[in-house]
Amino acid sequence: MFFRKSDSQGANENCPRIQDILGKITVNEQSSIRLSAEKVVYFDPFGIKEAPHDADMIFITHPHFDHFSPEDIGKVRKDDTVFIAPASAAADISKVCPNEALPVLLEPGDARTVCGIPVEAVPAYNVNKAFHPKKNGWLGYVVTVCGVRIYAAGDTDATDEAKRVKCDVALLPIGGTYTMTAKEARELAKSLSPAAAIPIHYGSVVGSQSDYDVFAKGLDIAVKKL
C-alpha cells in the first residue's frame, strides 16, 4: 500500500526502476527486511515464519534480540551466506558465522563492495536516550542495487550522520522509545528527500500501527506500509 500527498514530487518517484525495487522489499517484523534484487539480502532477520534458506547476504545492525536472532538467522542462511555486521559485534556474529565463512565487519563510515553490492556503514545511535550509545559503533547501511540506493537505518535517532545520507529509498524506525518517534522520522524523511520511504520498527515490540499515519502525514514522497 502506498500513500502519496501529491503526484508532483518529481521524476524520481515515478521512475519504473524505483517502483520495481519497492516491490522487491518486504518488512517481516520490527526491522526484519528482505530485499530480493541482484542478491537476496536480509537485514536483522526476526520473526521469520518459514525456513527459506535463501539469504545471499545477511546484515546485522546491532546485537539486541530483535535484530540479532540466531534462531531466525538459521531459517534464512545458507552454507555460503555472507554476513555483514558492526566490528563491535564480532563476538556475537561468531555464534552464527562458521570459521570458514568469515563475516565482513565494518566500522561506522566504512564503504565496501560485498558480493558485488556497494555497501556503506552509517552510524546508528541515540542522541537523547541511552539504549544505543554512539560509542558502541552500531550501524545502519546503505546498499546500492540496480542503481538504487537503499538506506536501512537500524535503531537510530535523527542523527547528523543520518541527515547526510543520500538515498532513493529510506527504511526508517518510527516506533519511538528506543529510536526516533514517528514525527522525528517524518522530519528526517523530509530532509533526506528520497523517492520513497518505508517505516520500520513499529507495531510489534514497540510502537503501534497508528505511528504509520503520523509518519506519512504531510510527506510528499511515496510511503510503503508494512
Q: What is the mean pLDDT of each run of 10 residues along the chain (226 residues)?
A: 36 63 91 94 96 97 95 95 96 82 92 97 95 97 96 97 97 91 96 95 78 89 81
In this prediction, residue 15 carries a pLDDT of 56
Measured in degrees and rounded to the nearest 5, phi and psi for residue 222 equal -70, 135
Entry pTM? 0.91
Of 187, 160, 164, nearest to 172 by C-alpha is: 187
Order of strands across the sheet that contains 148-152: 2-3, 222-224, 196-200, 169-173, 148-152, 139-145, 117-123, 111-114
- Nearest to 189, CA basis, from 9, 40, 8, 1: 9
CATH number for the 2-224 domain, one of 3.30.70.2610, 3.40.640.10, 3.90.1150.180, 3.60.15.10?
Answer: 3.60.15.10
The per-residue pLDDT for 114 is 97
Predicted local distance difference test score (pLDDT) of residue 100: 62
Which sequence spans correspond to the domains of the chain? Answer: 2-224
| Closest of 69, 48, 28 to residue 152, by C-alpha | 28
Residue pair 139/123 in contact by the 8 Å Cβ criterion: yes
Q: Which long-range contacts (CB under 8 A, 24 or more apart) does 128-135 make?
A: 128/157, 129/157, 129/178, 131/155, 131/178, 132/62, 132/156, 132/178, 132/179
